[in-house]
Amino acid sequence: MLKTRIITAVIGIPILLGGLYLGGNYWRGVVILLAGAALLEYTAMMRRQGFKPIVIPACLITLLLLFRVELEQHLAGLFLAGWLLMIMFMVIKYPRFNFSDLAMSFFGAFYSGYLFSYALAAPELQGAFLYVLLSLILTWASDVGGYLFGISWGKHKLSPQLSPGKTWEGAIGALILTIIAAVSFKYIFGMEYLNLFYTILLGVCASGAAQLGDLLESALKRYFGVKDSGNLIPGHGGVLDRFDSLMLVLPTVYYLLVLFA
């Protein structure tokens, strides 16, 4: 399993960073694939528990939210149209679809489309490449710090009902390594508009968001009764398993950079 995870990382990370570096349609394509896979994994988990996802309107809403920056002037009307379409599906095909299916389908579209949209909102910031790269590095630092501290010193359970493997010691390790990564990134890439206090605060908030995103996905898997969200990424499970933390780190880092800059 470890060998598979390493091989996948060696192949996948350069593809991810390459798409980010090339930017434009290359990066859009990567983000569309990630958001689409996340939504499909979510709807598959819904079916496992007997729910019936309203797929077509959910895909439409996901795309609208994903490109909300480009569609800014028309977003409200298009979003309403997508929402009405989802309601229409439920009403016309009731009781095949019910209100639980409607609410869960909408959440899946919002979860996938809105959170991943921050990977495409980067052009609003100076240094868009650095913003997404920083989000990735802080996410990875939080994951690695949590894992290393957890297996070395973890004793006190953080949330045993959601994720029995998570410990308070791991959470502290995630926080420490994320702060170190944020400070290192600042000095390596010369982000002069971030003073040391803001950089530490950025690391704290990013680690909190990463751990919250991980626990949220654990809650989803517990609710739907699955071990992994999918099997698209060998050794890592699905897209939601691998990118759950990043999905909350992206908007957190975005708004903090907007505030600090």
Residue range 153-168, pLDDT digits in tens: 988 898 888 888 889 9
Check whether residue 112 and residue 134 sit in a common domain. Answer: no
Domain end: 97, 120, 143, which one?
120
pLDDT of residue 105: 95
pLDDT, tens only, 15-61: 888 888 888 888 899 999 999 999 999 999 999 999 999 999 999 99
What is the three-state SS of the chain?
Answer: CHHHHHHHHHHHHHHHHHHHHHCHHHHHHHHHHHHHHHHHHHHHHHHHCCCCCCHHHHHHHHHHHHCCCCCCCCHHHHHHHHHHHHHHHHHHCCCCCCHHHHHHHHHHHHHHHHHHHCCCCHHHCCCHHHHHHHHHHHHHHHHHHHHHHHHHHCCCEEECCCEEEEEHHHHHHHHHHHHHHHHHHHHHHCCCCCCHHHHHHHHHHHHHHHHHHHHHHHHHHHHHCCCCCCCCECCCECHHHHHHHHHHHHHHHHHHHHHHC
Check whether residue 146 and residue 230 sit in a common domain. Answer: yes
Check whether residue 245 and residue 211 sit in a common domain. Answer: yes
pLDDT, tens only, 200-252: 999 999 999 999 999 999 999 999 998 888 777 766 678 999 999 999 999 99
Cα separation, 178 vs 42, whole angstroms: 28
Q: Which residue has the higher pLDDT, 121 or 140?
A: 140
Check whether residue 108 and residue 165 sit in a common domain. Answer: no
Domain end: 120, 149, 167, which one?
120
Residues 172-197: b if buried by 16+ CB within 10 A, e if exposed: bbbbbbbbebbbebbeeeebeebeee
Check whether residue 199 and residue 95 sit in a common domain. Answer: no
Check whether residue 4 and residue 91 sit in a common domain. Answer: yes
Stretch 112-127: mean pLDDT, rounded? 81
Q: What percent of the chain has pLDDT over 90?
A: 61
Check whether residue 92 and residue 156 sit in a common domain. Answer: no
Owning domain of residue 100: 1-120
Whole-number average pLDDT of the chain: 89
Check whether residue 114 and residue 9 sit in a common domain. Answer: yes
- CA contacts within 13 A on the Cβ side of 23: 11
Total domains in the chain come to 2
pLDDT(183) > 90 = yes
Domain end: 96, 120, 144, which one?
120
Residue 243 has which token pair?
A: 């990118």
Check whether residue 106 and residue 138 sit in a common domain. Answer: no
Burial tier of 254 (Cβ tally within 10 Å: 0-12, 13-18, 19+): buried
pLDDT of residue 71: 85
pLDDT(122) > 80 = no
Check whether residue 141 and residue 250 sit in a common domain. Answer: yes
pLDDT of residue 123: 59
Check whether residue 166 and residue 108 sit in a common domain. Answer: no
pLDDT of residue 3: 61
Which residues, 6+ apart, have CB-to-CB distance to 67 below 8 Å? 117, 120
Check whether residue 254 and residue 195 sit in a common domain. Answer: yes
pLDDT, tens only, 57-113: 999 999 999 999 888 888 889 989 999 999 999 999 888 899 999 999 999 999 999
pLDDT(126) > 70 = no
Do residues 41 and 240 touch, judged by C-beta distance below 8 A?
yes
